[in-house]
Structure 1
């Protein structure tokens, strides 16, 4: 199935696209891979063409000259490039898809939608994490090169003028999606409907984060297993994934909208509503996530329709009988686990449990605050390392520019535009951080790296403590809920306690989340 993604590029220089397309970059850090001599390494295989410029190698120079003539893209905040990535199903190779055919499709799309622009078209044979999906990059200068008659996929006449800024509007994106679907149909390739929103939606950012964090867990677990220990956590879940699973459970448990929201609320998820559309928020999220970002299966209309259909199924005696039996068994387990916890911890009433819960909440909040402080300091240190390193790498270009005669400065600056821009940006950013944090002299790179290692160690320790504190807090909250539901909110008396104490095994554990 072919998919298309759009990225608006602001901060990168015009030298970056050609480097990224032709040299090897680390998928996790997005940094160039260097050989033993600290030189960038060319990609093993790629195809590249250009439209609106003499050749791919002159893309940077021609784009910058054209922007300068039209007084566009002079600020860092402006969108300089539109980057489209069209990816194909790995199974398409079995249907005859080759790199040449992918490049031809990329050229076809570029000629139809960006014929009057400055464009790079480059095909790579493999995707993220060696997934095997061939894909083509289409990188477009955001300033139009030649005037055109307004086509149907452009909203404004003003975008068709030479020297005007172009946009990646919803209209143009839908037109490109429709064109890709038609091409896949023509070439007999696998394809899905790109124009209608998916039932389940996972963004690339979430996917990449899951991959990164899962890799960390796998490495940590491998070390634990070497020492003969059993890992306590084997799978990483994002907050979005936790919300997805909680929603799916709630759909099958709730009778109506009010009960659905109540079940989610008990799981720590608040359902919000704005202009008839739902959103979801947890305590760990700073912002509400709109339901449509999860896919159509998580929007209000779909969920309410499912609640109705499930209610119809529940009306049958057979289904209800099995469900009731299952609930009774689970209630008995919950009751036993709750009593065992009270006995093991010497508690006689829910007041004592509430006090214990309050202490756990404060401890968790303190650890979370400390974690946020370390994260902020680590982010600052990473910025300092990046900017200091960039200054050291590009300083020789800046010094040479200063010593260049005045009549040759423009030529030198054009030739080394990327290096000079990186030096100036790094210097400005470093000065801002130094002023903000009261630093009077430029820090040493080795000192910053040592500080980063200390912070990473501290972060790993505090993250483990936060996770353990959260698990303990959740367990006690579940016990409190179980006690209120199953034991009628009555405090445990001395007779119940002594009777339970005699039958509880010493190694019996509290309920698992």
Structure 2
């Protein structure tokens, strides 16, 4: 179950990075642990190697790179990146993972994914929570000291040119997660899907709030036990903040210790917030009902903005996005749950509008079912046949030829409507892409005109790389689609609205034809099955 974590650092003291990897530090405060003589205590076990540093140390190699290329001169510049690969604790016993093997895997990972960067690769035998998981720290200087071969995942020239800085984008992190998964698979180690996050996302701030809260609770319980009293609570639970907006003493203390009041404030109520939202979600049948129940029962406001849901607990002034709580709290999952709740409620109406299928009694009885199950199957088939006959009589399709003709007509209507809907969707997609490129082309045209007249085009292009890239992409799109004259955006918007209206009309035809077609096909199948069962029964009689 190897995991990958990324940390970007603005600390210009590169020697402190190596000191953290070599010396012992307190897990909560981050301070170095000292021995009786006041000297830093070495870690009990570690393996450390450097790459791309030449004859210098990691710190000196990074400083020389910064001075050579004139990078990292500001306090806000990212000086280094740290990637931590944590292996499953079971790998040591089950798959023979050792520190030496983990170090070799870390060196291979660093050489393949961070070429040209001064790097430290250090392996530790255990995590800060004593879980027994071997993990590898890969720390790279942000500046690349040599030109490297371009890889498919590299997006821009800065990802392979000399003197450029490493950028940890979403595409880069996705590539690195895939690399970790393939690395563990080739080494025969346990692994999980890193591309899809956990259903309940626990932030770093929330994790440390739980750790500190449990530690404090254990100390209080130990004191109570020493006095001969029984502890009331053994497991720490995050608390909900009071309605007047005041955090409890421990939440305030945690906020100070984390040096991020907002992060600790959110972390101190996320677990309770998840429980409250879940308790309402599985009873509500619509979004209005869902929002009303949350407000009435717990004082939680919910809003939808830009296709995402956000929640505002009592005592807060800033909404918490659903993505920070977990997958089941986002818009798509919430609406799926609400729709399922609404469908489960009117069961009687649902049964009336649906035609069931006959069940083969003889094949089911060979499975060793009892006589009671046979009676239930007989009753079920009678109800299904009653529904089938009623449907055919209402449609006037009691004749077999008329039924087959109607099914053929519906199939033609179904496929024709579906083809029209697909065609309209393609035209709408093209319309949307064209409007996007026209907007990008229009907004960046002035930048391109300036680029054609400047004296230092290389510096100007580096400064306006995003605008020039958007302009060139739009021009390439127009050329690929043989567009010589750009249409009016208002005309395209009107065309898009007309296409959407036509799509809605044909989609309704497609939906109606599909529903009736499924019912008639099921009815035809039921009639055929009924007569197939009647023939053996008559022969037996």
* Smaller-chain TM-score bracket: 0.5 to 0.7
Contact 1:217 1:236 in 2 (8 A): no
Deviates more, 1:252-261 or 1:219-228: 219-228
- Residue 74 of structure 2: aligned partner: 75
- Residue 278 of structure 1: aligned partner: 309
Q: Rg bigger for which structure?
A: 2
Q: Tell me, in whole angstroms, the C-alpha distance in 1 between the residues paired with 2:226 and 2:120.
A: 49
- Residue 121 of structure 1: aligned partner: 121
Alignment of structure 1 residues 443-462 onto 2, 5 Å: none
* 1:298 correspondence with 2:329: yes
Q: Tell me, in whole angstroms, the C-alpha distance in 2 between the residues paired with 1:294 and 1:212.
A: 20
> Aligned in 2, Cα 1:276/1:112: closer, same or farther, shift over 3 Å?
same
- Residue 290 of structure 2: aligned partner: 260
The CA deviation at 1:286 is 4.7
Contact 2:51 2:120 in 1 (8 A): yes
Contact 2:310 2:319 in 1 (8 A): yes
Q: Tell me, in whole angstroms, the C-alpha distance in 1 between the residues paired with 2:192 and 2:307.
A: 29
The CA deviation at 1:208 is 1.6
Q: Tell me, in whole angstroms, the C-alpha distance in 2 between the residues paired with 1:159 and 1:178.
A: 18
The CA deviation at 1:102 is 1.2
> Aligned in 2, Cα 1:276/1:236: closer, same or farther, shift over 3 Å?
same
Q: Tell me, in whole angstroms, the C-alpha distance in 1 between the residues paired with 2:69 and 2:272.
A: 49
- Residue 159 of structure 1: aligned partner: 159
The CA deviation at 1:152 is 1.7
> Aligned in 2, Cα 1:185/1:215: closer, same or farther, shift over 3 Å?
same
Q: Aligned with 1:206: secondary structure?
A: helix
> Aligned in 2, Cα 1:286/1:178: closer, same or farther, shift over 3 Å?
same
Contact 2:115 2:148 in 1 (8 A): no
- Residue 428 of structure 1: aligned partner: none
> Aligned in 2, Cα 1:158/1:115: closer, same or farther, shift over 3 Å?
closer
Q: Tell me, in whole angstroms, the C-alpha distance in 2 between the residues paired with 1:203 and 1:108.
A: 29
Contact 1:202 1:294 in 2 (8 A): yes
Contact 1:2 1:88 in 2 (8 A): yes
Cα distance per residue 1:142-177 (max 9 Å; x no partner): 011111232222211133222111111111111111
* 1:244 correspondence with 2:274: yes
Q: Tell me, in whole angstroms, the C-alpha distance in 1 between the residues paired with 2:98 and 2:347.
A: 55
* 1:187 correspondence with 2:187: yes
TM-score (normalizing by structure 1):
0.59
Q: Tell me, in whole angstroms, the C-alpha distance in 2 between the residues paired with 1:158 and 1:255.
A: 51
Cα distance per residue 1:184-238 (max 9 Å; x no partner): 1222221111112331211233112211112112212332444455656552312
Q: Which has the higher contact order (CA 8 A, sep 6+)?
A: 1
Contact 1:24 1:43 in 2 (8 A): yes
Q: Tell me, in whole angstroms, the C-alpha distance in 1 between the residues paired with 2:272 and 2:4.
A: 27
Cα distance per residue 1:216-274 (max 9 Å; x no partner): 12212332444455656552312111111112111222122112112222313221221
Give the CA RMSD over aligned residues: 1.9
Contact 2:87 2:134 in 1 (8 A): yes
Alignment of structure 1 residues 103-122 onto 2, 5 Å: 103-122=103-122
- Residue 421 of structure 1: aligned partner: none
Q: Tell me, in whole angstroms, the C-alpha distance in 2 between the residues paired with 1:287 and 1:97.
A: 46
Contact 1:109 1:176 in 2 (8 A): no
Q: Tell me, in whole angstroms, the C-alpha distance in 2 between the residues paired with 1:106 and 1:241.
A: 35
Q: Aligned with 1:139: secondary structure?
A: strand
TM-score (normalizing by structure 2):
0.56
Unaligned 5+ segments in structure 2 are: 239-267, 349-541
Q: Aligned with 2:129: secondary structure?
A: helix
Contact 2:158 2:166 in 1 (8 A): no
* 1:223 correspondence with 2:223: yes
Deviates more, 1:226-235 or 1:252-261: 226-235
The CA deviation at 1:288 is 2.0
